[in-house]
């Protein structure tokens, strides 16, 4: 994986309750040279980090199913507070209803688990390069 040119200055919010998958995502982000990764294992805690007063993240990556609040709840909140922040949804749900619901709430990208690290790296690169 090639590190992002300006990766050190990027801030990513990661909401993922599965410890293994959180480590996998963080490892890929570190290989891309991402400077700051703020991780939450609870959807409600991730939502509380998204406020108008807080410095916006450059990217939000979220699992769909988490305790406290879902990734869809987080997506809706991010869109209400930081409308243009890229959002990548991770989920084991590949059903049309899930994808349609995520798109209806302005998700930028959707990645079905399990995924290859290179696939995640490619999506992140595309999202932060916009």
Q: In CATH, what number is assigned to the domain containing residue 112?
A: 3.40.50.2300
Evaluate whether residue 79 is within a structural domain. yes
Domain that holds residue 33: 7-128
Query: 50: alpha, beta or left, given left = phi > 0 and alpha = psi -120 to 50?
Result: beta
Evaluate whether residue 2 is within a structural domain. no
Number of domains in the chain: 1
Evaluate whether residue 1 is within a structural domain. no
pTM for this model (two decimals): 0.95
pLDDT at 58: 97
Which helix (H) or strand (E) segment is 112 a member of? strand 109-112
Tens of pLDDT, residues 46-95: 999 999 999 999 999 999 999 999 999 999 999 999 999 999 999 887 77
């Amino acid at each position: 994986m090639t590190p992002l040119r300006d990766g050190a200055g990027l801030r990513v919010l990661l909401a993922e309750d599965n410890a293994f998958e959180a480590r996998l995502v963080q490892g890929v982000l570190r290989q891309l040279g991402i400077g700051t990764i703020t991780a939450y294992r609870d959807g409600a805690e991730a939502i509380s980090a998204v406020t108008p007063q807080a410095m916006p993240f450059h990217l939000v990556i979220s699992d769909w199913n988490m305790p406290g609040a879902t990734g869809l709840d987080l997506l809706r909140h991010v869109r209400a507070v930081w409308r243009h922040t890229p959002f990548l949804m991770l989920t084991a749900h590949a059903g049309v209803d899930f994808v349609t619901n995520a798109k209806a709430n302005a998700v930028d990208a959707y990645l079905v688990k399990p995924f290859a690290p290179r696939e995640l790296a490619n999506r992140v690169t595309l999202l932060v390069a916009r």
